[in-house]
Amino acid sequence: MPDIKLNFINNSNDKNNSQIVIFQKNVDSSYEELAVAWLVIKNCGQGWNHPFTYPMAMQVSGTDSYDNFSQKRTAYNGDKFVVVKDLSGDVLQPAGQASSPNEIDVLNGLGLGSVSVNVYKDGRLLATKTNIEPGGKAVFEFKPVIWIGAVSQIEEGELINSAILQDLNTQLSLFGIKSADVVMTGGGSGPNSTAFQFNLENIVYA
Amino acid sequence: MRTRVSHLYNRFPMSEMTINDLIRITAECREQHLPGLPDEQSAIHYSIFYPVNSHTSFFSGMLAGNNKQRIEYKAPDNFIVNGSVCTKVNEHEIVLFGDLYYGFGKTPGTRHHFDGTILIFPFQPTPAPPPVPIPNECTEDFPAEITVDEPLFPYIAISSWNQESYTAGTGIDFYSYDPAGAEPGSLYKLLVADNTNRQAMENLAAIFVQSTSYYGNLQAVPEPFNVFPAFYDLLQQELTHSVFTTALSTYVGVGAPDNWDLVPDQLWQNYFALTILTNYNEGFYIDISKILVICNLLKHADLLLSGNDATLKTLLYASNILPSAIFPLPPYQRTGTADSTNSITPYAIGELKMTRYKLLRYQQGEVARIQNVLKGEKKKLVNRSFTGSREQLTDQTVNDNETTNDDMKATNELTVEVSKTIAELTKNVTFNNLTATYGPPAQVILNGSYTTTTSCNGPLTKDSSLFATRVLNRTLSRINESVLRARVYTSYREQEEITASVFNNQSGTTHLRGVYRWVNKLYRISVENYGNRFLFEFRINEPAKPFKAAQLQLNDLDLEKPIAPRDKGINNFTDITLSNYAELFSQYEVKQLLLPPEDETKQMLVWQMQVYNAIMESYQHTMASYNDRLTRFSGKNVQSNPLLLNNIIHSCLESSCHNMLKNVIFEKIGEEAVFLKRCDQFMQEAFEWNEMTYVFNDQPSRLSYALQGEDDSLRPFLQASYALVYLPVRPAFNFSILYFLSSGIIAAAPSPFVPVNANDVLVAQQLKRIQQWYMKSQVERSWVITLPTAMQVIQDSEALPIFHH
CA distance A111 to chain B (A): 24
DSSP 8-state assignment for residue A69: B
| Residue B274: count of CB within 10 angstroms of its CB | 24
Q: Residues A19-46, buried b or exposed e (16+ Cβ, 10 A)? A: bbbbbbbbbbeeeeebbbbbbbbeebee
Give this complex's ipTM. 0.81
CA distance B114 to chain A (A): 5
CB-based contact (8 Å) between A76 and chain B? yes
Q: Is the pLDDT of residue B590 over 80?
A: yes
Q: Which residues pair with B503 in a beta bridge?
A: B379
- Compute the Cα dihedral for B251, B252, B253, B258 and give only its sign: positive
- The chain B residue lying nearest A80, using CA atoms, is B132
Q: Which distant-in-sequence residues (6+ apart) come within 8 Å of B54 by Cβ?
A: B24
User: Is A175–B93 a contact, with Cβ atoms under 8 angstroms apart?
Assistant: no
User: Is A169–B2 a contact, with Cβ atoms under 8 angstroms apart?
Assistant: no
Q: Using an 8 Å Cβ cutoff, are B759 and B518 in contact?
A: no
User: Is A198–B113 a contact, with Cβ atoms under 8 angstroms apart?
Assistant: yes
CA distance A173 to chain B (A): 4
CA distance B428 to B441: 29
User: Is B113–A197 a contact, with Cβ atoms under 8 angstroms apart?
Assistant: yes
DSSP 8-state assignment for residue B562: P
Lowest mean pLDDT across A35-44, A147-156, A161-170: A161-170
User: Is B116–A174 a contact, with Cβ atoms under 8 angstroms apart?
Assistant: yes
Interface of A with B in 124-183 (CB under 8 A): 143-145, 169-177
User: Is B115–A186 a contact, with Cβ atoms under 8 angstroms apart?
Assistant: no
pLDDT tens digits, B280-295: 888 888 889 999 998 8
Counted across chains A and B, CB pairs separated by less than 8 A come out at: 87
What is the phi-psi region of residue B740: left when phi exceeds 0, alpha when psi lies from -120 to 50, beta otherwise?
alpha
Which residue in A102, A170, A177 is closest to B8 by CB distance?
A102
Which residue in A94, A97, A198 is closest to B115 by CB distance?
A198
Mean predicted confidence (pLDDT) in B499-521: 87
pLDDT category at B343 given cuts 50, 70, 90 is confident
**Beta-sheet pairing, B93-103 with B80-89:** antiparallel
User: Is A102–B11 a contact, with Cβ atoms under 8 angstroms apart?
Assistant: no
- Compute the Cα dihedral for A93, A98, A101, A104 and give only its sign: negative
pLDDT of residue A59: 93
Chain B interface, best mutation among A1, A4, A171, by max B CB count within 10 A: A171
pLDDT of residue A199: 92
pLDDT of residue B142: 40
pTM of the model: 0.47
Q: Indicate the angle between helix axes B461-468 and B413-424, nearest 10 degrees.
A: 140
Mean predicted confidence (pLDDT) in B472-490: 58
pLDDT category at B131 given cuts 50, 70, 90 is low
Lowest mean pLDDT across A68-72, B258-262, B772-776: B772-776
CB-based contact (8 Å) between A188 and chain B? no
Q: Is the pLDDT of residue B147 over 60?
A: no
A-chain residues near B7 (CB < 8 A): 101-102
**Beta-sheet pairing, A177-187 with A4-10:** parallel
pLDDT of residue B730: 85
CB-based contact (8 Å) between A198 and chain B? yes
The share of chain B scoring above pLDDT 70, in percent, equals 75
Interface of A with B in 82-121 (CB under 8 A): 93-94, 97, 101-102
CB-based contact (8 Å) between A197 and chain B? yes
User: What one-letter code names the amino acid at B315?
Assistant: L
Q: Is the pLDDT of residue B9 over 90?
A: no
pLDDT category at B473 given cuts 50, 70, 90 is very low
Closest-CA residue to B738 (of B540, B534, B533)? B534
CA distance B583 to B586: 5
B-chain residues near A198 (CB < 8 A): 113, 115
- Compute the Cα dihedral for B296, B300, B305, B306 and give only its sign: negative
Q: Using an 8 Å Cβ cutoff, are B498 and B335 in contact?
A: no
Chain A interface, best mutation among B115, B118, B123, B778, by max A CB count within 10 A: B115
Q: Which distant-in-sequence residues (6+ apart) come within 8 Å of B115 by Cβ?
A: A170, A171, A172, A173, A198, A199, A200, B98, B99, B100
- The chain B residue lying nearest A173, using CA atoms, is B116
| Average pLDDT taken over every residue of chain B | 77
CA distance B126 to chain A (A): 12
Closest-CA residue to A199 (of B115, B350, B451)? B115
pLDDT tens digits, B361-395: 888 888 998 988 888 888 888 888 888 888 777 77
